[in-house]
Amino acid sequence: MPTEVTKMLKKILGVVLIVLGAGLAFAFFTSTADETQDAHFNKAVYVQDALIHAENEGKVIIVPGKPVLLKKATDPELRIALETPLLVRTVEIYKLVPLTEKDKQLVKYKNRLDKMWWEKVDALADKDTYRYRSTSFAGALQVGEFLIQGKYLLPLPRTDYHGFTQADAANLSLKLQNDNGRQYLSQTLFTNDDNAWQGRNSLRFSYEYTDLNKMDTYTLVGKQKGRELLYEDGDFNGTIMEGIKTKDEVLQAAAKSRKLGNIVGYVVTALLLVGGGYLTFFSKNE
């Protein structure tokens, strides 16, 4: 039988969910962001030749073309620069973590409460704890005459990088490690299976990158400012799409994406309201 405290906590949680759902619903039904984006995209100028035209300065434009590398992405902390516009670094630490329920069924963890395990060092949660954190580094591309950088690069496809050598690792006073299909620059060669205390607090680094050889053509929507194509400017947000698209195709794809986003938002809103209403008014108290 639930205690009075449990009943009260259910009602409080229910009220919180209702408030969140109502706030989200209000935001959805009063927002004009979609209409604003539609207006920007509908007025966009299609720049077939991907060249800078003075009359388009400050306007939203659509630029099709094949990107070429203008600036390498570089990890300044480990002094690693690759022929790619986007480099994503994952940092892991070998640390003591509590056993999971599944672990407790294994013989090797008998009479244990914890184990040595590689865990990701998060960019935000661990920002004040570790010197090295998981993060990304961006270079720059050029499409036609336009400079492409910043948020345009984040959606680009990525793959694990396996190109480091023993010499590369040695130059950084690290070891080359291959573990579960990924290549690491590591302070120790211990793996999760080793459960080795000797490696405690060691770090290892792995990378993902955008392979230029696999990049084909793209269509970008942005605002022209000098020779740069801006992804964001005021209430405008750009986009990047694979392949050469006509203006009609760009408009259709953008509308479909916004519609899908709205559907997800409505579903989340409904779940919050229904869940909150159930906990507040209909949950059993026996």
pLDDT digits (tens, 9 = 90+) for 24-72: 665 555 655 667 777 888 899 999 999 999 999 999 999 999 999 999 9
DSSP helix/strand/coil, 45: strand
Residue 286 has pLDDT above 50, yes or no: no
**Predicted model pTM:** 0.75
Quote the distance between the C-alpha of residue 94 and its chain's center.
Answer: 24
Q: Evaluate whether 21 touches 14 at the Cβ level (below 8 Å).
A: no
At 234, the pLDDT band (50, 70, 90 cuts) reads confident
What is the C-alpha separation between 98 and 24, in angstroms, rounded?
37
Q: What is the predicted pLDDT for the residue at 1?
A: 46
Mean predicted confidence (pLDDT) in 231-256: 88
Extract the tokens encoding 147.
Answer: 């400079």
Alpha helices in 31-54 (DSSP H): 33-42
Q: What is the predicted pLDDT for the residue at 81?
A: 95
What is the C-alpha separation between 59 and 55, in angstroms, rounded?
9
Mean predicted confidence (pLDDT) in 12-29: 65
Q: What is the predicted pLDDT for the residue at 12?
A: 76
What is the C-alpha separation between 112 and 195, in angstroms, rounded?
12
Neighbours of 156 (CB within 10 A): 20
Exposed/middle/buried for residue 3 (C-beta within 10 Å: 0-12, 13-18, 19+): exposed
At 231, the pLDDT band (50, 70, 90 cuts) reads very high
Poorest-pLDDT segment among 125-129, 220-224, 238-242, 247-251: 125-129
